[in-house]
Amino acid sequence: MSETATKPDALDHLPEGLLAELGEQVKAEDIEAAAGLDLDAEGRYADGALLLTAGRVGHCTRIDGRWSLRWIELASLKEAKIIDGLGVQALRLLGEGRLVAQFRYTLRHSRAVARLHRRLEWRLADKGEPFEPSVTRPDEKKTRCDKCGRSIPPWTEFCPSCTSRRKVLGRLLDFVKPYKARAITGFVLAVAVTGMNLVRPYLTMPMLNDGLGLQRGKTADYGVLMFYVGIMIVLTLTAAAGQALRERLMAGLGSRMARDLRNKTYAHLHTLSLSFFSSKPTGSLITRITSDSDRVWEFVTFTVIELVVSLLTLVGVGAALFWMDWKLACYVLIPVPLMLALTLSFHRRMHSFFHRLFHRWSKMTAVVSDALPGVRVVKAFGQEGREVDRFARSNQAVYESELTMIGLWTMFSPLLALCSRIGFILVWVIGGYWTVHGTLDPGTLMAFVGFMWMFYEPIHMLSHVDRNFNRSATSVQRIFEILDTAPAVFSKAGAHKPDAVGGRIEMRNVTFSYDGVRRVLKGLDLTVEPGRMVGLAGPSGGGKTTTANLICRFYDVLDGRILIDGVDVRDYDVETLRRMIGLVPQEPFLFHGTVAENIAYGHPEASIDQILQAAKAANAHDFIVSFPDGYDTLVGDRGHTLSGGELQRVSIARAILSAPRILILDEATSSVDTETERLIQQALDRLIANRTTIAIAHRLSTLRRADTLVNLENGQKVEEGSPDGLAAKPDGVYAKLLRIQQEASSSIAVGR
């Protein structure tokens, strides 16, 4: 990306009117990055802004209603740091061992300042490399709409004011295309049935005038009456059969579309990076795949056809009314403007309401999905009542929202009914008067009354359709929010797909941040030769697990490169890369299924003999065969029926069976007893043989087998060497940590 690629967006974060007031002090085209500030040096609310040009940083402040600008030359700066605080942050500009300036701001401006900080660091580094504006993650949620500037509610990713519900639902047509023959047939049947329903009220006119002889100058004729009754019977039966077939076709179409939508949404979820899932409640994602897709089925099956039938009926009945008596038809139209005004007003209120209702549904689902997997912890701390209260509060919020909806709906429907009855009364008063005075025959009046009810009924139906339209549009929008989210980690076109790798890993000046502000790794360099083992040690938060995540490419680096066999991991096919890497996590995860299925998860085509060999190599065979069902034993959700050591050994067996060339062990022996640790360590010794291995551990004794030991602290490498060599350095970090752990172990032993 070129240096000037971000300039069109650089001014978005400046207060309105700032540049105009500053005049010749700064030119807009010179500004490379900008950010608003809302705190002064004492932490009080104040208007401010930061400007970054090629050679200076500008600090704008509003004093007595006027803007002033102070420049800081980049040549006087050596470093820029972002300091995290409680609800606030600060950007510090440092010179040669001194603080040049500090700017405070609330989290509202954290993203904009982070972007400016990123570009400022690039300017200070002055490496001659092009600028890569990668501070903000692609899946980072916007808080304001770029188009209208309005706030984006927390329950959606898009601005409700700028999102066309018609366009959202129109995108469903892509899912109709595979079944267009079924959709066309259903539409034709809807038109045919509507036409037959329009004929039946018209038949009452000859039945009354000619059959019963109610028109002046006509005599009753039972044969004529039965003729029209016969036609009505045929139309009624045919319309019923057509409607049944239409509903069957459309229900099948809706079911197929909902199935395809669920499949596509779930498949797309698996392409998204871990950063997406860390920002989304599990309950919200479950709701979108399940209940939201079910509303799509309901929309296609019922709402679409109701909309089509209602519009056709309105047009057909309106034409019939004006054809029979245009003057009387005008009285039928009198309540219509009021009915439309009520519908539009209700439409706007309901759309906003459904967004909030679904948000509360997601929060309630999130409580369930959060508590049930952690039921062991809940019971261990006796917090069942607390969790029940949490659910009750969320459930109460849903209940209150539904009561609000009921209140709106029960007020709206009677008002619409009142409007239609006004038209009904007008037709009887005016039409009855004309019939009594001989200007309108009774058959025409009765046919008119029948058509009148058919005219008002679609308007009532459209109001119901409007409610379903809002519900469905909201659900579809929530689903497309997922489908429109681009994966932050993806395979490039023509990505590298080797059959095998040597296993050489290089990390060159790697920098990474999860939130775009606080850097977890800072310029890390690390090399692991093929078949060698490197141990990562250091305090919590030092960046050990982050290093593993980046090698597996769960995230992409902000700066620097990670190479495997000399190829950047971003150039590998993601699936191929991860199949080359075996991960034994600190907290192994087992799926609901048999022990054998969990061992073979990464190699599902494995034979039972291969599964047995992997389990034996992982020292898991003995405890597995002690179960009543052996390898066919069902493990509970997340493996709750197994002990921690058993879980870990099954996880190791799974890694052994996958036969990876690169192995990552993340605290594989943590939180187990000494005997279990010995069994796990034996299994690991078999697993790491001839494999490139990165081992992460807090227990330094487990890293003594490493060829090289690297200590990480605050995202930086502070020490590197062989375990014995580092242990021999009395003032070294590793030696100090080793002494602390040995003293702690001795104290525990004495206490016993």
pLDDT, one tens digit per residue, over 637-694 is 666 677 777 888 888 888 888 878 888 888 766 555 566 667 767 777 777 777 888 8
Q: Which of 157-171, 350-364, 495-509, 524-538 has the lowest mean pLDDT?
A: 157-171
All residues at 6 or more sequence positions from 253 whose CB lies less than 8 Å from its CB, including other chains:
176, 179, 182, 183, 186, 300, 301
For residue 703, count other CB atoms closer than 10 A to its CB.
Answer: 23
User: What's the CATH number for 7-125?
Assistant: 2.30.29.30
Residue 150 has pLDDT above 60, yes or no: no
pLDDT band at residue 482 under the 50/70/90 scheme: confident
**Which segment, 272-286, 311-325, 617-631, is predicted with the most confidence on average?**
617-631
All residues at 6 or more sequence positions from 434 whose CB lies less than 8 Å from its CB, including other chains:
328, 440, 445
Rounded Cα–Cα distance for residues 489 and 576 (Å): 13
Residue 748 has pLDDT above 60, yes or no: no
Rounded Cα–Cα distance for residues 284 and 687 (Å): 39
Greater confidence, 200 or 373? 200
pLDDT band at residue 746 under the 50/70/90 scheme: low
Residue 374 has pLDDT above 90, yes or no: no
The reported pLDDT for the residue numbered 394 is 84
Mean pLDDT of 347-358: 68
Q: What is the pTM of this model?
A: 0.62
Give tens-digit pLDDT for 610-639: 888 888 888 888 888 888 888 888 886 666
Mean pLDDT of 455-459: 77
Rounded Cα–Cα distance for residues 67 and 47 (Å): 9
For residue 145, count other CB atoms closer than 10 A to its CB.
Answer: 16
Between β-strands 505-513 and 559-564, what pairing exists: parallel, antiparallel or unpaired? antiparallel
Greater confidence, 261 or 474? 261
Residue whose tokens read 């500030």: 37
The reported pLDDT for the residue numbered 85 is 60
The reported pLDDT for the residue numbered 160 is 53
Q: Which of 122-126, 203-207, 276-280, 532-536 has the lowest mean pLDDT?
A: 276-280
Rounded Cα–Cα distance for residues 398 and 413 (Å): 22
pLDDT band at residue 505 under the 50/70/90 scheme: very high
Between β-strands 662-666 and 581-584, what pairing exists: parallel, antiparallel or unpaired? parallel
The reported pLDDT for the residue numbered 386 is 81
Give tens-digit pLDDT for 439-452: 777 777 777 777 77
Helices (H) and strands (E) in the chain, counts: 24, 19
Task: Calculate ∠ Cα 295-346-321, nearest 5°.
Answer: 95
The reported pLDDT for the residue numbered 484 is 77
| Residue 710, H or E segment | strand 708-713
From-to residues of CATH 1.20.1560.10 in the chain: 165-483
Instruction: Name the token pair of 20.
Output: 């105009």
The reported pLDDT for the residue numbered 639 is 61
**Which segment, 332-346, 410-424, 436-450, 501-515, is predicted with the most confidence on average?**
501-515
pLDDT band at residue 57 under the 50/70/90 scheme: very high
pLDDT band at residue 3 under the 50/70/90 scheme: very low
Residue 134 has pLDDT above 50, yes or no: no
Q: Does domain 165-483 have CATH number 1.20.1560.10?
A: yes
Rounded Cα–Cα distance for residues 454 and 32 (Å): 64
Query: Inter-axis angle of helices 304-324 and 180-206, to 10 degrees?
Result: 30
Residues 307, 462 contacting (CB under 8 angstroms):
yes
Nearest CA to 93 out of 67, 57, 55, 143 is that of 57
User: What's the CATH number for 505-751?
Assistant: 3.40.50.300
From-to residues of CATH 3.40.50.300 in the chain: 505-751
Rounded Cα–Cα distance for residues 442 and 89 (Å): 82
Mean pLDDT of 710-717: 87
Residue 628 CA: distances (Å) to CA of 549, 624, 638? 38, 9, 20
Residue 155 has pLDDT above 50, yes or no: no
From-to residues of CATH 2.30.29.30 in the chain: 7-125
C-alpha dihedral (571, 575, 581, 585), degrees to nearest 10: 120
All residues at 6 or more sequence positions from 222 whose CB lies less than 8 Å from its CB, including other chains:
211
pLDDT band at residue 562 under the 50/70/90 scheme: very high
Phi, psi of 530 (to 5 degrees): -55, 135
Residue 7 has pLDDT above 50, yes or no: no
